[in-house]
Amino acid sequence: MARTSLYNAWVFTVVCFAGYSYGFGFSVFVTTIGQPGFYEYFELDPTTSYTARILDATNALFNFGAAFGALVQSPIADKYGRRIALAVAGAWSLIGTALVAGSVHVGMMIAVRLFQGFGLGMILALVPLYLNEVAPPRQRGLIAGLTVLSFGTGYLVCSWVAVGTYNANATVQWRLPLGLACLSPLLLLLTLPTIPETPRYLVWTGKKEEAWAVLRRLHHNTEDPEDRQAHAEFTQIVLQVEHDREMKVGWIQIFKIPSLRKRALLCMFLLFATPSTGIIGISNYLPLIFGGLGLDGVLPLVMYGVWTTIGTSMALMSILIVDRVGRRSLMVWGYPVLAVLLMIQAVLQSQFLGTDNRGGLAACLVFLFVYILVFQLIDAPAFIWASEVWPTAYRAKGISLSFFAFFVGSLTYTTPSALAFRNIAWRMYLLYMGLCLVCGAIIYFFIKETKGLPLEELAALFGDEVVVHITADGTGIVEDGELDKVAAIVGTEHVETLGSKTL
């Protein structure tokens, strides 16, 4: 594996400000509902069904806005570029987050949470779009997986900030974390000018020389002084994009062309399956769930902090192994294991919820933490797979559809969750268990492995033509007998370097 340069690390860090913005902005409301000052300020009783409906409405509108934000990023990213789209999403997120922090009554909080969700939905969908288009094939899982790690880090920091402000005065207790959510989109806007446009977008828009300069700088390493890997990847990108230009690009074509339709259905299923595991319904109301298990005061927020710390640590482990173990492999075994854990949680809560049995309640807590351990091992693979399988011409649109499905799933499971956990309690876990089993079966039969393959070669998994293939060592192209034809399209400089290796 090639070493990551300081320049690459900086590019990835800047883009991760976007993922972190989503994580902190989403999570800040989860911690807010664990702060007594929030209920005091808005004159809400946390034990009533009315308050549960208010919380459900606020979360539902956030996900509703995020779903349409994910769709809107596509035309901006395709027309103006990935970097400009990130700037638009960052500005929208900054304004929306500031409005949430300044909310003075419940109606305003609900309305501006919709506005904030729109911006954060845009910003989250753009992270894997950008990262996939700058990542080397053998490290793509690690780099694209930074999407999950970055928003997980946002969850983690937000949870401990909430613990730190718990003993502050009633207003600072919940309003300060809301205000701090403005920092990361601001950092994104300030640092975006320092990173390049993605080479694949530049090739698609006819800027080949600029694309080559970007790709060469991103992939240069001392073990490859002649930049053979960069030449090979550039050749493949240019030839595949030229081939893809023959396709008519549009939303309708995604559902008319069989290979694109298959991608759309599988990607939308995969990201809808993620909230179907119960993660959104559980994590959104985790401080309330911990309260129901007998914890009080600051302890539910502390436990939420431990939960996010464990989850983010496992997300890091997942992206470190996903290029070796594979995306499909992690998901195939992960969903059935989650089903078993959810069944155990349902049985435990049916017996001990509402009792003073410390041992039983402690067992409930333990299995919630085991659940997040397993979930985070399969979370990143789903996001990686759903964002990598699209051709350059359709990648922004495909990711839009995938994340639209993710937020629709989040909306589906978030909207009734506060009332459901209050009224049917442990039975919700049985629903999630069944969904995990169904999703695991679909993944087993329909999701193919993508590890190690260049983005352009993933087309073969869906029956599309791959114009050229990169050699196993990544430094040449397999179709060396066609180098003269390749030179006419790509340029002699790149082909001479490939030729010295492959002929």
Helix, strand, coil percentages (3-state) for the chain, rounded to 5, are 80, 0, 20
- Whether the Cβ atoms of residue 91 and residue 128 lie closer than 8 Å to each other: no
One-letter amino acid at 248 equals: K
Q: Where are the alpha helices (DSSP H) in 277-357?
A: 279-284, 286-292, 299-325, 327-352
Same domain, 275 and 420: yes
Q: Identify whether 345 is part of a domain.
A: yes
Same domain, 220 and 152: no
Q: Among residues 152, 169, 195, which one ends one of the domains?
A: 195
Q: Identify whether 355 is part of a domain.
A: yes
Token digits of residue 237: 């990108």
Say whether 477 sits in a helix, a strand or coil. strand
Q: Identify whether 231 is part of a domain.
A: yes
Same domain, 253 and 237: no
Same domain, 56 and 154: yes
Same domain, 161 and 272: no
Domain range holding 235?
198-246
Same domain, 217 and 256: no
Q: Identify whether 469 is part of a domain.
A: no
One-letter amino acid at 24 equals: F
Same domain, 256 and 227: no
Token digits of residue 185: 């989109």
Q: Among residues 162, 195, 228, which one ends one of the domains?
A: 195
CA dist., res. 116 & res. 97, Å (int): 6
Same domain, 164 and 240: no
Q: Among residues 415, 447, 479, which one ends one of the domains?
A: 447
Same domain, 242 and 252: no
Token digits of residue 76: 């901006």
Q: Identify whether 452 is part of a domain.
A: no
Residue with tokens 């997942």: 318
Burial of 471 (0-12, 13-18, 19+ CB in 10 A): middle
Same domain, 358 and 407: yes
Q: Identify whether 30 is part of a domain.
A: yes
Which of 94, 84, 91 is CA-nearest to residue 129? 84
CA dist., res. 151 & res. 286, Å (int): 17
CA dist 500 to 220, 250, 494, 503, Å?
A: 18, 40, 10, 6
Taken as a whole, the chain contains a residue count of: 503
**Which CATH number covers residue 103?**
1.20.1250.20
Residue with tokens 């979360």: 59
Tens digit of pLDDT per residue, the chain (503 long)? Answer: 456 689 999 999 999 999 999 999 999 988 888 788 899 999 888 888 888 788 888 888 999 999 999 999 999 999 999 999 999 999 999 999 999 999 998 889 889 999 999 999 999 999 999 999 999 888 999 999 999 999 999 999 999 999 999 888 888 988 999 999 999 999 999 999 999 999 999 999 999 999 999 999 998 877 777 888 888 899 999 999 888 877 778 899 999 999 999 999 999 999 999 999 989 878 766 777 787 777 888 888 898 899 999 999 999 999 999 999 999 999 999 999 999 999 999 999 888 877 888 888 889 889 989 999 999 999 999 999 999 999 999 999 999 999 999 999 998 887 766 666 666 667 888 999 999 999 999 999 999 999 989 999 999 999 999 888 888 777 777 765 555 555 555 555 555 565 544 43
Same domain, 182 and 64: yes
How many of the other CB atoms lie within 10 Å of CB of 108? 13
Q: Give the global pTM.
A: 0.91
Q: Identify whether 476 is part of a domain.
A: no
Same domain, 134 and 208: no
**Which phi and psi angles does 477 have, rounded to 5°?**
-115, 145
Question: Could you give the number of structural domains in the chain?
Answer: 3
